[in-house]
Amino acid sequence: MDGATYRVLDGCRINKDKPLDFWFNGEKFTGYAGDTLASALLAYGAFPVGRGLKYHRPRGIYTAGSEEPNALIQLETGGRTQPNLRATQVELYGNLIATSVNAWPSINFDLWRVNDWLSPLLPAGFYYKTFMGGGVATGRWWRLFESSIRRAAGFGKAPSAPDPDRYERMNAHCDVLVIGAGPAGLAAAAAAVKMGCRVILADEQAQIGGDLLADDREINGAPALDWVGATLKTLSKAPDVRVLNRTTVAGLYDDNFVIAVESVGDRNGPPAPSQLPRLRMWRIRARQIVLATGAHERPYVFPNNDVPGVLLGHAIRHYAGGYGVVPGRRVLLGTTNDSAYRTARMLSEAGLGVTLADSREAPPPSLVEAVTRVGVTVEVGFAISAVRGSRRVCGAEISRILRDGAVASAPRSMEADLVGVSGGWNPALHLASHRGAKPVWNETQACFVPSNLTALGIHAAGAVTGVGALADCLDQGHAAGRAASKAAGKIRRTRKPVIEGDDVADPVPLQKIWAVDNRQPGGKRGKAFVDLQNDVTTRDIALAAQENYRSVEHLKRYTTLGMGTDQGKTSNVIGLALMGQQTALEPEAMGVTTFRPPYTPIPFGALVGRDQGELFDPVRETPMFDWHVANGAIFENVQLWKRAYAYLKPGETLEQAVKREVLAVRNGVGIMDASTLGKIDLKGPDIVKLLNMVYTNRWDTLKVGSARYGLMCREDGMIFDDGVTARLGKDHYVMTTTSGNAAIVLAWLEEWLQTEWPDMQVFATSITEAYATTTVAGPTARDLMSSLDSDIDWSNDAFPHMTVRTGKVMGVPARVFRVSFSGETSYEINLPARYGMALWEALVVRGAIPFGTEALHVLRAEKGFILVGQETDGTVTPFDVGMGWAVSKKKDFIGKRSYARKDTARQDRKHLVGLLPVNKSTVLPEGGQIVDDADQEAPMAMLGHVTSSYWSPMLNSGFALALLKNGRNRSGDTIHILSLDGNADEARVVDPVFYDKERARMRG
């Protein structure tokens, strides 16, 4: 592009000694350090940078901050691209690449503009009224149009490659969090620091000062920025103060938990230095909060108000004062309040032709005199009634205006290439509403202000309370800082500093104008846009009222008003006020839609921080984990544990490995890492009382050195865990649980002990990780154990099944349990975890074959032992799985009463059965649904499902466990199991124990 001809002043935010080249839509531009992408572009004039969502009319930069509806851009490319950024919030850096979005083929020639000509056919909510043809299978039309609607909508594109940058989280605590570093925020922070508080001051802008950066305000007779500098120095010297600029406070939650996103490595452009995060998510717990978030200017609406070159009046002042940019030569400012006069004076003093149309009958004489003295033409009682032009403003019209905004005279044509409109101020009270508090309407300021939230520890100060004068902001800020410090418990006597601002002596309240309706003959017709991003016009609001979508929420959802990325920051209040005019309701009665976090959009990565990839979730490793990894183990995730599923020898398939491991245990001796099983140490005199209540069977008779299996149910009578509990001493037991339920069972015991039976003397402590557990199982297990240097008598008489012995194994104190899930002679050796690896290696060297969880599941299934979570799913009772024997008739226990209920007591519930496929070589599908008639029409009468199904090397046949309706009484029947390809497998119902029915091997 040719030179930046609109850079006419020296902006206080930019450094002219550091020019920065950047690319926009493929063309090269130059800006300065301190510029935003928006200010740098405006230096070349107000040309189109985006397109409206629906009519795709050209749109220019409209504001100077986070409330920007138009200037959405796609930043950078490839893995680092970011869609939908606001040019007004992108800090300029060297070699920045940005492109416009949502236009095809180009921003200056967009074919989707056809929608603007078809607009009579596209009123608000048109899509609810059409695309409905296509007969019974309706939606055929809709499917056809849906893909084109999706392509037209959507603005930017998602990145195509994973994100190379880092993100961090940081928790922080403070007495007082001040949100917003404008005059009010700085005064509040200074007051809180003087009271001895830990203070965090956060502001979304790169530079500190807020509105004071916009022009030549004065505090205590000196330039305001000197006061800002002095205040910042005192803050930096204080011990516990953190000043966070470039940090957007995005959400405010219960008990003043606040989230804020700081741009760290992002500031001088990608790539961020390798260790630095691109963004840091602050998670702040503040005792008290000062809300000094200021206010957003709002426009009033008139036909054709979306032409590039129409901006908010205050934005023009920020671009002039902050960045030295005025994107026009002839300026027309339309205002309803005093704030535009300072802008008019600044622009006129810079040599631009300025006309100020003030809609009020009697604006403050001092202001009118001050601006006319420097050459501004003031049109009292006039408002902008239209703008001419399509890609650029090339003229406007002003009309005399009545109190309610109705036009009272023929329009007067005005020469203008830059239009500023100032309709009033909306306090940025979003954060105060995040905790559910509804804002209240302030009639004199014609805006919604936060309700009094000091009870929640939130103190509002400055423009967010609706005040405009600088002196008020400074006073309120100081007062809020002190009040917050006191509420945070920091009481210190401090002197109130003298701070005066240069405010208007004779202020006049604003005039409430929402839209200028230009139906005068000769007046320029055209769409008057309320929501510039979602293309919602005044006609759309009238249509919503006409069709009875009259509540403020129906208005929003029917017209999509305020549902864009700016969340209606400049449009919501105008929209609801215009609807109020149609339905004779004041804004107070209309109310607002709910303000929701985040205040402005946050990248997903900032929420995730470093919880990604390898650190996404903890990995729990057993003491023998390194050995499994080094010896061909395939792992499965069991909760957070990594458990060896099977050990593949080189060239072995999974099936072959499992078969080898099963045969090793059945014929020789296998070892398994069982360290993940929950182990709970119980101490105290009342353990038996506890066990009798949580397990279904009785525990009074368990002798020291013995162990017993138990089923644990919830109060609805359904199984939720099982395991063996052994008695080590008079008042010392150890309970084992399934791996997945280790924490759940300990929590279950603690809940009952603490909340229901506090006088029961039992202490429960998790020792799961204190012991490494190795299961040694198989017919030669005893020989292997005997070969170890140990003082334990391994003979069957001295150490029978279901008992526990303690002693030394290879010089280390150990507890050994004779319990068997595989059905073979089996020892579970527990020794201090630090020795787990050494024992495992010693057993491998002595010829034991490691086996994984899959082999264990084949072994236990052959024995008909249930697996909680596979045979049971929270709807299965002990009786259903044939363990009525374990349910005590006499004592009460948790869940017992539920067995007497009608549905739980009925005899034809689903029972555990065994299934043998008629064709021996089939392995029945797990989860297969069982039916009697495989050819019936769907929905079919399904009688149960296959819970576990494997190939048994011992039976040389597939076999399965299943839950079958009335299964106990159907032994010998043939049933069908549906398969996904339409036909079915046949199987015979048999007893669920397939191998060693007499349990001789286990007891051998």
Partner 1 sequence: MLLIQCPYCGPRDESEFDYGGEADIVRPKNPEKLSDAEWADYVFFRTNTKGRFKERWVHTHGCGRWFKIVRNTTTHEHGDVTVFGGVEPEAE
Partner 2 sequence: MKPEWLTRYFTTRKGRGCVAEILTPSHPLSFPSRESGPDAACVILSVEPPLALLDLRCRDKAALNAFLNEPTGLGSSTVAARKTNPKASLSRLGPDWWQLRCHSRALADHLLDKADDTLVAVTDISDAYVAICLSGSRVRDVLAKAATIDLHREAFPVDSVARTLLGRVTVIVTCTKADSGGAFDIVVSRSNARFLWNWLIDAAREYGYTLKSAPEA
Partner 3 sequence: MQRYSIFSLARNALSGHRNWPQAWRSPVPRQEYDVIIIGGGGHGLATAYYLAAEHGVTNVAVLEKGWIGGGNTGRNTSIIRSNYLWDESAAIYEKSLKLYENLTSVLNFNIMLSQRGVMNLAHNEHDLKEMSRRVRAIRGNGVDSEILTPAQIKQLVPALNTSKSRRYPILGASLQRRGGIARHDAVAWGYARGADAFGVDIIQNCDVIGIRRKGGKVSEVETTSGAIKAKKVGVAVAGHASVLAEMAGFRLPVDSHPLQAMVSEPLKPILDCVVMSNTVHVYVSQSDKGELVIGAGIDAFNSYAQRGSWRVIESQMSALVELFPIFSRVRLMRTWGGIVDICPDASPILSKTPVEGLYFNCGWGTGGFKATPGSGWAFAHTIAKDEPHPINSPFSLDRFISGALINEHGAAAVAH
Would you call 365 exposed, middle or buried from its count of C-beta atoms within 10 A (0-12, 13-18, 19+)? exposed
Are 239 and 199 within 8 A, CB to CB?
Answer: no
Select the binding partner of residue 168 from partner 1, partner 2, partner 3, none (C-beta < 5 to 8 A, by kind): partner 2
Q: Given the rule CB under 8 A, which of 18-26, 33-41, 494-502, 865-873 is the region that contacts partner 3?
A: 865-873
240 binds partner 1 (CB under 8 A): no
Q: d(Cα 60, Cα 327) in Å, to the nearest integer? A: 11
Q: Are strands 15-24 and 27-33 parallel, antiparallel or unpaired?
A: antiparallel
| Beta carbon of residue 712, minimum distance to partner 3 (angstroms, whole number) | 11
C-beta of 136 vs 845, nearer to partner 2: 845
Task: Convert residues 274-293 into a mask of x (bound to partner 1 by CB under 8 A) and - (unbound).
Answer: -----------x--------
Which amino acid would we find at residue 826?
A: S
Select the binding partner of residue 711 from partner 2, partner 3, partner 1, none (C-beta < 5 to 8 A, by kind): none
Q: d(Cα 210, Cα 199) in Å, to the nearest integer? A: 19
The residue written with tokens 């005279």 in the block is 409
596 binds partner 1 (CB under 8 A): no
C-beta of 6 vs 647, nearer to partner 2: 647
Selected binder of partner 3 within 602, 633, 691, 861 (CB under 8 A): 602
Are 308 and 328 within 8 A, CB to CB?
Answer: no
897 binds partner 1 (CB under 8 A): yes
Are 100 and 107 within 8 A, CB to CB?
Answer: yes
Q: Which of residues 42-81 bind partner 3 (CB under 8 A)?
A: 80-81
756 binds partner 1 (CB under 8 A): yes
Select the binding partner of residue 228 from partner 2, partner 3, partner 1, none (C-beta < 5 to 8 A, by kind): none
809 contacts: CB under 8 Å, gap ≥ 6: 788, 789, 790, 792, 816, 829, 831, 839
| Beta carbon of residue 551, minimum distance to partner 1 (angstroms, whole number) | 21
The closest alpha carbon to 481, from 471, 492, 470, belongs to: 492
C-beta of 239 vs 436, nearer to partner 3: 436
104 binds partner 3 (CB under 8 A): no
* Both tokens assigned to 176: 């007082």
C-beta of 473 vs 772, nearer to partner 2: 772
C-beta of 162 vs 221, nearer to partner 3: 162
Q: d(Cα 949, Cα 614) in Å, to the nearest integer? A: 33
890 binds partner 1 (CB under 8 A): no
747 binds partner 1 (CB under 8 A): yes
Q: d(Cα 962, Cα 940) in Å, to the nearest integer? A: 18
For residue 105, say if its preceding peptide bond is cis, omega within 30 degrees of 0: yes
935 binds partner 1 (CB under 8 A): no
568 contacts: CB under 8 Å, gap ≥ 6: 531, 556, 561, 562, 575, 593
| Beta carbon of residue 815, minimum distance to partner 3 (angstroms, whole number) | 23
For residue 917, say if its preceding peptide bond is cis, omega within 30 degrees of 0: no
C-beta of 443 vs 626, nearer to partner 2: 626
Q: Which of residues 343-402 bind partner 3 (CB under 8 A)?
A: none
Torsion of CA 234, 237, 239, 243, to 10 degrees: 70
Torsion of CA 231, 234, 235, 236, to 10 degrees: 120
Select the binding partner of residue 747 from partner 3, partner 2, partner 1, none (C-beta < 5 to 8 A, by kind): partner 1
* Both tokens assigned to 607: 């929420």
The closest alpha carbon to 13, from 43, 46, 45, belongs to: 43
C-beta of 146 vs 756, nearer to partner 1: 756
919 binds partner 1 (CB under 8 A): no
| CA 52, 55, 59, 62 torsion-angle sign | negative
| Beta carbon of residue 742, minimum distance to partner 1 (angstroms, whole number) | 14
Q: d(Cα 312, Cα 332) in Å, to the nearest integer? A: 11
Q: Which of residues 716-735 bind partner 1 (CB under 8 A)?
A: 716
C-beta of 16 vs 173, nearer to partner 2: 173
The residue written with tokens 């940005």 in the block is 98
137 binds partner 3 (CB under 8 A): yes
DSSP code of 593?
Answer: P
Selected binder of partner 3 within 17, 444, 604, 755 (CB under 8 A): 604
| Beta carbon of residue 964, minimum distance to partner 3 (angstroms, whole number) | 14
Are 956 and 920 within 8 A, CB to CB?
Answer: yes
Task: Convert residues 940-979 into a mask of x (bound to partner 3 by CB under 8 A) and - (unbound).
Answer: x-x--x--------------------------------x-
Task: Convert residues 278-317 into a mask of x (bound to partner 3 by CB under 8 A) and - (unbound).
Answer: -----x----------------------------------
Q: Dump the DSSP string for 255-282.
A: GGEEEEEEE-TTTT-SSPPTTS-SEEEE
Chain residues in the site for partner 2 (CB under 8 A): 168-173, 198, 240, 275-277, 283, 285, 609-611, 614-615, 617-623, 626-627, 629-632, 635, 641, 648, 681, 683-684, 729, 763, 765-772, 789, 810-812, 831-839, 841-842, 844-846
Select the binding partner of residue 945 from partner 3, partner 2, partner 1, none (C-beta < 5 to 8 A, by kind): partner 3
Q: Are strands 257-263 and 382-387 parallel, antiparallel or unpaired?
A: unpaired
Which amino acid would we find at residue 71?
A: A
| Beta carbon of residue 759, minimum distance to partner 1 (angstroms, whole number) | 7
| Beta carbon of residue 605, minimum distance to partner 3 (angstroms, whole number) | 4
Task: Convert residues 265-284 into a mask of x (bound to partner 3 by CB under 8 A) and - (unbound).
Answer: ------------------x-
Q: Dump the DSSP string for 820-855.
A: -SSSSSEEEEEEEGGGHHHHHHHHHHTTPEE--HHH
87 contacts: CB under 8 Å, gap ≥ 6: 36, 37, 38, 41, 49, 61, 68, 71, 72, 73, 98
The closest alpha carbon to 71, from 24, 35, 27, belongs to: 24
Are 776 and 785 within 8 A, CB to CB?
Answer: yes
| Beta carbon of residue 614, minimum distance to partner 2 (angstroms, whole number) | 6
996 contacts: CB under 8 Å, gap ≥ 6: 823, 863, 1002
Q: d(Cα 727, Cα 203) in Å, to the nearest integer? A: 63
Residues found in the chain: 1004
900 binds partner 1 (CB under 8 A): yes
| Beta carbon of residue 994, minimum distance to partner 3 (angstroms, whole number) | 19
Say how far residue 671 (Cα) sits from the centre of its chain: 44
Task: Convert residues 403-442 into a mask of x (bound to partner 1 by CB under 8 A) and - (unbound).
Answer: --------------------------------xx------
C-beta of 169 vs 412, nearer to partner 3: 169
149 binds partner 3 (CB under 8 A): yes
C-beta of 157 vs 846, nearer to partner 2: 846
Residues facing 609 on adjacent strands: none
C-beta of 343 vs 433, nearer to partner 1: 433
Selected binder of partner 3 within 502, 926, 973, 986 (CB under 8 A): 926
The residue written with tokens 């760290």 in the block is 264
255 binds partner 1 (CB under 8 A): yes
898 binds partner 1 (CB under 8 A): yes
Selected binder of partner 3 within 18, 157, 492, 649 (CB under 8 A): 157
902 binds partner 1 (CB under 8 A): yes
C-beta of 501 vs 928, nearer to partner 3: 928
Chain residues that interact with partner 1, rule: CB under 8 A: 253-255, 257, 285, 435-436, 715-716, 747, 750-751, 754-756, 758-759, 892, 896-898, 900-902
